[in-house]
Amino acid sequence: MKYIIAVIQPDRLDEVLKRLTEKEIHLVTVSNVVGRGRQKGIAEVYRGHKEQGSLLRKVQIEIAVNEAFVEPAIKAIIDGARTGQIGDGKIFVLDLPECIRIRTGEKGNEAIG
């Protein structure tokens, strides 16, 4: 099991969700975040809006997946979020030791899907 965290441009969210759905990945958590990347938050690019000092507005997507879905998920996120400009974001893939569905008590691979 892997835990995928992607930080993307807010305006790419709809497209990323669409691509994920096409790969049958429906379970995601989405939040508004602010942060800074390699450009150190300096809003030179037109899209980067300078606000709250040096922090830029982004959207964070979190997805827990079984091994078979890791590559499709990464591909969906890249296809949906990539524009080729600075600030497209990053994807982090973490090992996920455990996952439990609260309602049934199921654990591991069964609990993820």
Partner 1 sequence: MKKILVSTILILLSAGTAFCDTAAPAPSDTPAAAVAAPAPKVDTGDTSWVLISAALVMLMTPGLAFFYGGLVRRKNMLSVLMQCLMILCLISLQWVLFGYSLSFGPDHRSLIGGLDWSFLKNVGLAPNADYAPTIPHQLFMMFQMMFAVITPALILGAFAERMKFSAFCVFMLLWATVVYDPVAHWVWGVGGFIRNWGALDFAGGTVVHINAGMTALAAAIVLGRRQGYPNGISPPHNLPFAVLGAALLWFGWFGFNAGSALGAGGLAVSAFTATHIAAATAGIAWATLDWLKHKKPTTLGLITGMVAGLVAITPASGFVTPMGAIWIGIGAGVIPWFAVTHFKNLLGYDDTLDAFGVHGVGGIWGAIATGIFATKTVNPAGADGLLYGNPALLWIQVKAVIITVVYSFVVGIVLLKAVDIVMKLRVTEHEERVGLDLTQHREAAYTIID
Least Cβ distance, residue 32 to partner 1 (angstroms)? 5
Q: What are phi and psi for residue 39, nearest 5 degrees?
A: -80, 5
**What residues have CB less than 8 Å from 94, skipping those under 6 apart?**
2, 3, 4, 5
Pick 10 or 113: Cβ nearer partner 1: 10
Total residues binding partner 1 (CB under 8 A): 13
Q: Which stretch binds partner 1 (CB under 8 A): 20-28, 32-40, 91-99, 101-109?
A: 32-40
Pick 44 or 98: Cβ nearer partner 1: 44
Count other Cβ atoms within 10 Å, centred on residue 35.
Answer: 14
Candidate list 10, 41, 108, 113; residue touching partner 1; CB under 8 A: 10
The interface with partner 1 within residues 35-74 (CB under 8 A) comprises 47, 49, 51-52, 55, 57
**Cα(first)–Cα(last) distance of the chain, in Å?**
11
The C-alpha atoms of residue 96 and residue 63 are separated, in whole angstroms, by 11
**What residues have CB less than 8 Å from 101, skipping those under 6 apart?**
107, 110, 111
Contacts with partner 1 by CB under 8 A lie at: 10-12, 14, 32-34, 47, 49, 51-52, 55, 57
